[in-house]
Amino acid sequence: MTELSPLPSILLVGCGKMGGAMLEGWLRAGLAPSIIIDRHKTDLPAPHQVVRSIQDVPANFAPDVIIVAVKPQKANPVLAELAQRFGQATLLSVMAGRTIASLHATCVQANAQANPVIIRSMPNTPCALGAGMSGLYAPPNATAAQKAHCNALLKAVGETVWVEEEGLIDSVAAISGSGPAYVFLLAELLEKAGVEQGLPADIARKLARGTLYGAGCMLHTLPTDADELRRNVTSPGGTTAEALKVMMAPQAWPATTSTAIAAAVHRARELAS
Ligand SMILES: NC(=O)c1ccc[n+]([C@@H]2O[C@H](COP(=O)([O-])OP(=O)(O)OC[C@H]3O[C@@H](n4cnc5c(N)ncnc54)[C@H](OP(=O)(O)O)[C@@H]3O)[C@@H](O)[C@H]2O)c1
């Protein structure tokens, strides 16, 4: 995949937690003149513009990529309007669950001539800090240039991987799309357990956050497998071993994690149409 610089021009529809996180990163990385549709934002640095609705997008604006970052349940009216105005566009969907077939059908229902190329992706909120992890899937009709544009956008805010089957985007959503929430939950639980063991709340918070940061840096920087890093912290008969005996009991984290991820994938499939 070739890198493009500056980043392609975009029309971003949906500037909430996910759209906003990507936008922060893109503004830092350098976007070609772009338009953001947002009902709250008041300004954007030049040469970008914020408008309130698709009807307010200037007639001569032809973005390289339209990013749809609204909730899956709110996508249909947005897609219908986009199909009327930008029927042949490259659409990058970051929406959980919604399949390319269902997104395309919604566009065609609104405009029989519409034939957008739809690439699916699943980013995550660390994109705001340039530390995102995104999975992408492109259907066979996507061109190399369309894939390169989408890759460049998500690579500018973190790492990207491409999957070969559309259904795997649901698995990506369950692991890395939702994944920051699992890590934040662990931070909450460690902090709470620290307080239960007598630590002042501010110290428990600092210890929990600092530990997740340090362990994350090791995972990011070292090629070592996670299980080896874990064993390096675990002296036989020591304190870590006692805690891990509880966490690693078959019905504890191993079973809970598999069941939780399967539940997330199941939910993504419920949102498919
Ligand atoms: N949050 C995550 O960590 C994450 C990770 C990966 C993927 N995603 C995907 O990202 C999408 C958005 O999720 P989110 O968490 O960012 O939700 P969110 O915070 O609710 O953001 C959605 C945004 O879309 C806007 N919107 C809705 N209809 C619109 C319209 N017709 N025109 C312009 N803007 C419109 C909403 O504006 P109003 O406030 O004015 O309604 C809101 O700002 C979802 O499809 C989700 O599956 C999210």
**Domain layout of the chain by residue ranges:** 10-173, 179-268
Neighbours of 223 (CB within 10 A): 4
Average pLDDT over residues 208-223: 98
Specify the amino acid at residue 44.
Answer: L
Choosing among 3.40.50.720, 3.20.20.70, 3.30.70.20, 3.90.930.12, the CATH entry for 10-173 is: 3.40.50.720
87 C-alpha to center of ligand 1: Å? 22
Torsion angle of C-alpha atoms 18, 136, 145, 151, degrees rounded to 10: 60
The span from the CA of 78 to the CA of 5, in Å, is 29
Residues 120-175: tens digit of each pLDDT: 999 999 999 999 999 999 999 999 999 999 999 999 999 999 999 999 999 999 99
The residue whose CA is least distant from atom 2 of ligand 1 is 18
- Do residues 158 and 134 lie in contact, with contact meaning Cβ atoms separated by under 8 Å? yes
**Percentage above 90 pLDDT, the chain:** 93
pLDDT of residue 6: 79
Ligand 1 neighbour 39 (Cβ under 6 A): yes
pLDDT of residue 3: 47
Architecture per CATH, domain 179-268, reads as: Orthogonal Bundle (1.10)
Residues 64-115: tens digit of each pLDDT: 999 999 999 999 999 999 999 999 999 999 999 899 999 999 999 999 999 9
Q: Which of 54, 56, 70 to mutate to test the pocket of ligand 1 (most atoms within 8 A of CB)?
A: 70
158-162 and 35-37 beta bridge pairing: unpaired
132-137 and 117-122 beta bridge pairing: antiparallel
In this structure, what token pair is assigned to residue 107? 């566009």
Q: Who contacts 28 (Cβ-Cβ below 8 Å, separation ≥6)?
A: 130
pLDDT of residue 146: 97
